[in-house]
Amino acid sequence: MQLVVARIGRAHGIKGEVTVEVRTDEPELRLAPGAVLATDPASAGPLTIESGRVHSGRLLLRFEGVRDRNAAEALRNTLLIADVDPDELPEGEDEYYDHQLIDLDVVTVDGTEVGRITEVSHLPSQDVFVVERSDGTEVFVPFVQEIVTEIDLEEQRAVIDPPPGLIDDRAEIASPRDDSA
């Protein structure tokens, strides 16, 4: 199975280094020197990581054969793809790969069917499930422990305890707005 592990950003310096937007929880494993990664577009790769370092909180990579700024800049926006054994599991107990979560049925704690996870969006503040409902509409469910109470891979379901208004119109207004002021 192939998983996107990073996206190449802009060139850094003049010796072929690039910034990367990491899209894996295991960069030390997936983006280590010697790793050979497929690319999207395929014509840019495969790429072999020669070295990596962190600079100002950003991961910088250098690839074999990429020796100058022009070659590095030509790789901008290329996706880096790792081959992963589909049976491989993340190291942490409550960690999941996106492919394990896609297509899970989503139900509330009382058993009400909500829909099916079609995408996991990795936002800066948290991950979000994109859940498609039976009527074709989508609802966005933050992947946080307070809302997603259980992931059951054997039963292929995610159990959620949504606050009012997340998946329906039961939102409660805490205090009415006073427009007279």
Task: Say how far apart CA 52 and CA 117 lie, in whole Å.
Answer: 34
The mean pLDDT of 108-123, rounded to a whole number, is: 89
pLDDT tens readout for residues 138-157: 999 999 999 999 999 889 99
Q: In what order do the strands lie in the sheet with 113-122?
A: 138-142, 127-132, 113-122, 105-108, 157-160, 148-152
Residue 178 has pLDDT above 90, yes or no: no
Instruction: Give the integer Cα–Cα distance in Å for 34 and 25.
Output: 19
Cα separation, 138 vs 66, whole angstroms: 42
The pLDDT of 13-42, averaged and rounded, is 88
- Which residues share a beta bridge with 59? 20, 54
Rounded CA-CA distance 178/65 in Å is 65
DSSP 3-state of 156: coil
* Mean pLDDT to the nearest integer, 44-54: 91
Coil/strand/helix, residue 37: strand
Share of the chain above pLDDT 70, in %: 88
pTM above 0.85, yes or no: no
pLDDT tens-place string over residues 54-110: 888 889 999 999 999 999 999 999 999 988 776 666 666 777 878 788 899 999 999
Euclidean distance between CA atoms 159 and 141, whole angstroms: 11
